[in-house]
Amino acid sequence: MSDMFQSILDTHPDYICRFDADRVFTYANQAAVDFFRMDRDALIGSRLLDRVPPDQRSEVDSRLTLLSERSPASTTLHKVMRDQRPVHILWTNIAVYDEGRLVGYQSVGRDVSAETALRREIREQAKTLDRVQRELRMVLDAVPSRIWYKDDKNTILRLNAAAADSMGLSVEETEGQNTYDLFGEAAKAYHDDDLAVINSGVALRGKIEPYTPNEGDPGWVQTDKIPLELNGPEDRRILVVSTDITDLKEKETLLASINRNLDDFASLTSHDLQAPLRKIGISAELLTLEHGEALPDGASEHLEEIERGVRHMRGLIRSFLKFMRASPHEVDFDTVDLGQILEDSAARERDAISDAGGTVILPDGPISVSGNADLLGQVFGNLFQNALKYRSPDRPLRVEVTAQRALQNWVVDVIDNGRGIDSDEHDKVFDLFGRSQPQKGVKGSGIGLALCRRIIALHGGSIDLVERDGPGATFRIHLNARRRNE
């Protein structure tokens, strides 16, 4: 071999070798010499199988033996360890024949470690992508809302099972399809809405509209349409999420009917029921005035009982109307200082508390909550009044209010040392007309705590009666520390 040809082969990065028919090295370029880690003189004349790792000799021998004049070439991938790292070599072996006689072999090896690692990485990424796709499919199909992901040409790129079911199709039948091909001109109205959102870049949220499925009864949906821009203005998409609210609309209709009936009943109680009460009260009063001396023994007491019952019934009616009209409509919520509300509520009861020899202890510092100052004042005013009504005759009245911050809430306790409430009555005290029967020495309709719970519920909070070791009662109130729109 000429020196020039030898120089060219020695600069080639592939491992180039030749063997005779007995598989003895007859030539190796510099890359092959470096690969086998031997001097050229030592490598030439040595047997190939002696240079192959023991665990690969049988395979190499078999592959070379299988070469023939009709099928003289084969390619195989071998892995060897070099410097404690795997190296992948792609060997191309060619059997050389001269007039039908095997005269030797030529082998070219190429380090394909980088390509092998890249292919392995691609396979792993493909597996990961497949797993993510399957997980995404599971998540989408688990969502009860109907989800479409479309481009601006109205092609459905992806959708979930609920969306496909609503169209009477399967996911496989739908993905990649244009809705015009599926539904013809019926798709135009939806596409026009989609384009309006895509072109404006402004999401459409909470659109409520009727729908009629291909099969089944018509219903109602609430739809959000969100524009998406992937790779610039030429690649625009839209995400459509539609939730079936048919049951909600039916309940809304029923609730509206109930509210109309309640309004009618409120009107009835404020007018028609008051009339007979007035007649009963006036009749009892006239009997006392005109025939008081002629009445038999005990009749006056009965007439007084009638008058007390009439007054109590009128109070129940007024309280019921007050409870019915506690509504979130047109109620303004703001960030208010609950500490100031507590001070104002306590001040309104100051004289009554002072006459009872009582004290009120309030928390120091501002307490910012989201709420309506007037409604919250009504709640705490009612709790102070209850403490007065149900104070114990055995000890001076003491009312203490504590407030503690808990994450985004304030926890407010109103604690008194009055008569207390039996534990089996805790769940009943918040019922409407929870103490509808008059109690000796205590005025009221029993509607106050029901009203308190309704007002606190309007604020997104809660009020409960909690257990305590000592005498009296503890009402615990949770209020949001932030405004609803913050």
* CB contact set of 320 (below 8 Å; sequence gap of 6+): 266, 269, 432, 433, 447
Torsion of CA 330, 331, 332, 338, to 10 degrees: 170
Confidence of residue 332 (pLDDT cuts 50, 70, 90): confident
Q: What would the two tokens of residue 358 be?
A: 């009582």
Give pLDDT, residue 485.
45
Q: Which of 432, 388, 454, 471 is nearest to 463 (CA)?
A: 454
Mean pLDDT of 90-118: 94
Note the pLDDT of residue 151. 92
Residue 442's pLDDT band (cuts 50, 70, 90): very low
**438: confidence class by pLDDT, cuts 50, 70, 90:** very low
Within 10 angstroms of residue 54's Cβ, the number of other Cβ atoms is 7
Distances (CA, A) of 174 to 141, 148, 182, 384: 14, 10, 8, 65
Mean pLDDT in the chain?
Answer: 84
User: Do you know the residue count of the chain?
Assistant: 486
pLDDT tens-digit profile of 267-303?
A: 666 666 677 777 787 877 777 776 766 777 777 777 7
**What pLDDT does 84 receive?**
86
Mean pLDDT within 35-61: 92
Q: How far is the C-alpha of 383 from the C-alpha of 456, rounded, in Å? A: 13
Res. 81: pLDDT tops 90: no
pLDDT tens for each residue of 407-430: 888 999 999 888 877 766 666 777
On whether the CB atoms of residues 171 and 161 are closer than 8 A, the answer is yes
Output the six-digit token pair for 424: 């089996």
What is the per-residue pLDDT for 486?
A: 47
Per-residue model confidence (pLDDT) at position 357: 85
Per-residue pLDDT at 476: 93
Query: In this predicted model, what pLDDT tens digit does every residue of 342-353 receive, in sequence order?
Result: 999 988 888 888
